[in-house]
Amino acid sequence: MKIKRLVIPHELMDLNRYVNAERSNRFQAAKIKKENTYRCAVAIKAAMNEGLKIYDEELPLDFRFQWYVPNKRKDKDNIAFAKKFILDGMLQSGLIENDGWKQVGNFKDEFYVDKENPRVVIELVTRTE
């Protein structure tokens, strides 16, 4: 098992805000998804430029998400919804070819409060040495 790590700076959109946007204007929701996915893709591309690479023999990957939020106001399930943006960002950046069962294994979520530095730390756990 090998662990590769990357960081998405800042908070991502939570499920409640996304659903509210979708109900008010479907184009607004599409814009939010595009913006959040792009933010993730940029951070992932930066990690790739620093050497992050995934090889086919390491698939499927298990994901450990560490969600650092500024406070405890949002429910954890609403926060973790942002996995969608992260996985789509991995596709957009070219880190993984697809986000199906062959590439994506299991998820584990951990939640912390960091008022000064909200972010998402993702550990990609390979199943090979």
- 27-49 burial code (b ≥16 CB/10 A, e <16): eebeebbeebbebbbebbbebbe
- pTM of the predicted model as reported, rounded to 2 decimal places: 0.94
Give how many domains the chain has, as a whole number: 1
pLDDT in tens, 40-76: 999 999 999 999 999 999 999 999 999 999 999 999 9
CA distance 23 to 34: 17
Enclosing domain of residue 116 = 2-126
Residue pair 64/123 in contact by the 8 Å Cβ criterion: yes
Q: What per-residue confidence (pLDDT) applies to 51?
A: 96
Q: What per-residue confidence (pLDDT) applies to 129?
A: 60
Q: What per-residue confidence (pLDDT) applies to 127?
A: 76
Residue 112, H or E segment: strand 104-113
Residue 88: which CATH number?
3.30.1330.70
In the chain, which residues have pLDDT < 70?
A: 128-129
Strand partners, 56: none
Q: What per-residue confidence (pLDDT) applies to 105?
A: 96
